[in-house]
Amino acid sequence: MTKRRESHIRDFALLFTGQTVSQLGTNMTSFALIIWVYTKNGQVMASSLLAICSAIPYLIVSLFGGAIVDNANKKKIMLICDSIAAICSFVILSCFMSGILELWILCVVNIISGFMNAFQNPASQVAVSLLVSQKDYARVGGLQSVAGSVIGILTPVLAAGVLSSGGLGLIIVIDLGTFLFAFITLLLFVRIPDIVKEDQNVAFNEIAGSIKEAASYLKTNQGILVLLSMYSVLEFMGAISFDSMYSPLILARTGNDEMAVGTIAAFMAAGCLAASIMLTVMKQPQRKLSMMYLGSFMCLVGITLFGMGRNIEQWCVVVFFGCFGAPIYSTYQTVILREKVPTSMQGRMFSLQGMITGMLAPVGYLSGALLADYICEPFMQKNGKVQQLLSVFVGQGKGSGIGLIFVAAGLTGILFLVVLSQNRKIKELDEVEIL
């Protein structure tokens, strides 16, 4: 048993290393493409459209993806998804080198990536549950957050350096190299124990039955449903503000200063890193919901104050504080799901989490972009009494309308958090073991 556990730890370490390296390359490409799209089009809608194109296909197939993941080989799914991601990056590189890269091409690629992520994400989450013992869930979550934070710090630094010296093409080449490393590591060296049925061919009626089983599970365990609902509301508030518009807000208020975006992104990652290190070394608390609430409150306060920021120094302090809460929230939300939901059901639950979020995320991206470009920004450029009053909080000039959206989203999220936290069913998650 000891040797088996050690083997699983080795497999997790190799899987974790490969995926982390790959994620660094992916994030560098995403960082560079956001700047490329915004500077080329000058509208929030352009960058938001990319996020929408990723979210909608994820929404369409996520629940079916989770059912398939629960009934199929996780390693095979991850390998296929990694291959598709690499092909997408190669297409972008080819178009860029040929001088024909346009927004619509990136949208098509993101649609394909969205479909791929609907299978990749739940497969990766379940793989971790299969390789790691329950007592280590929180520490592993913290370790994943540490890696994500380090990536967040390195991404703007490396991407900015590569952009200035080798351009977007070189970044995508690096991205392809990281994909190759992750693929070979997973293919040749990682063994993932699987919960699969003897019949590996997943029929449609079996998938439909799996979905019905998930619905029945949520009906019985309403605390999990409320937890997922809370997650989706908070994610929506992030989507309508920070997720899609933090770069446009910075660029609008700094005269398209790309280094400012990179600097603030580094402080975001530093906040996540500090919290992640704390999570890996601290004793796991008994009341995980309290930690989840603390993390989400810090995130929402960070969104509110970010909209009020006027300069790089203020934004750096705010994002460090807000992003300190992000790993706390995500880690304990995931821990609760892993502890309370049977492993055989987790693929569907993680997919359902993505699907619920996906239902609201495109609406958030689109709403935020429309509000920014056509309502809030033009409104804040007027010189009325209301504008003068609001300018006390969000400033004046370009970007003030975007800042107003941040403040509204943050305060609304705090209100929802307070209301949902009083639900009796979600309180029971800290009191009883859900079967």
Structure tokens at 54: 């990723």
Rounded CA gap, 401 and 377, in Å?
A: 4
pLDDT band at 266 (very low <50, low <70, confident <90, very high): confident
DSSP assignment letter at 376: I
Taking a C-beta distance cutoff of 8 angstroms, is the pair 430, 341 a contact? Answer: no
For the chain, what is the radius of gyration of the CA atoms?
21
d(CA 276, CA 98): 41
What residue type is assigned to position 50 of the chain? Answer: L
Q: What is the mean pLDDT of the chain?
A: 82
Q: Would you state the structure tokens that stand for residue 144, as one six-digit string? A: 């994943």
Average pLDDT (388-396) is 89
Question: What is the number of other CB atoms lying within 10 angstroms of the CB of residue 391?
Answer: 16
49 by Cβ neighbours in 10 Å (0-12 / 13-18 / 19+) ranks as buried
CB-side exposure of 411: number of CA atoms within 13 Å?
9
Per-residue pLDDT, 319: 94
Higher pLDDT, 308 or 72: 308
341-365: per-residue pLDDT in tens? 877 777 777 777 766 666 777 788 7
216-249 pLDDT, tens digit each: 777 777 788 888 878 888 888 888 888 778 888 8
Task: Classify residue 173 by burial, with Cβ atoms within 10 Å: 0-12, 13-18, 19+.
Answer: middle
pLDDT at site 358: 65
Distance CA 435, CA 429 (A): 11
- Domains present along the chain, CATH in parentheses: 2-189+211-430 (1.20.1250.20)
Residue with tokens 């990136």: 106
pLDDT band with cut points at 50, 70 and 90 for residue 137:
confident
- Give the up-direction half-sphere exposure of residue 103: CA atoms within 13 A in the CB hemisphere: 20
Q: What is the pLDDT of residues 169-197, one digit of tens each?
A: 899 999 999 999 999 999 998 888 766 45
Percent of the chain with pLDDT over 90: 20
Q: How far is CA 415 from CA 184, 301, 309, 330, 334, in A?
A: 47, 11, 22, 19, 22
pLDDT at 198: 45
> Which pLDDT score is estimated for 357?
67
Is 4's pLDDT higher than 70?
A: no
* 146 confidence band (pLDDT: 50, 70, 90): confident
d(CA 340, CA 429): 8
CB 40 within 8 A of CB 27: no
Q: What is the reported pLDDT for 185?
A: 92
* pTM of the complete model: 0.68
Find the largest Cα–Cα distance for the chain: 72
pLDDT of 325 reads: 92
Which of 129-138, 294-303, 335-344, 422-431 has the highest mean predicted lDDT (pLDDT)? 294-303
Mean pLDDT of 293-317: 93
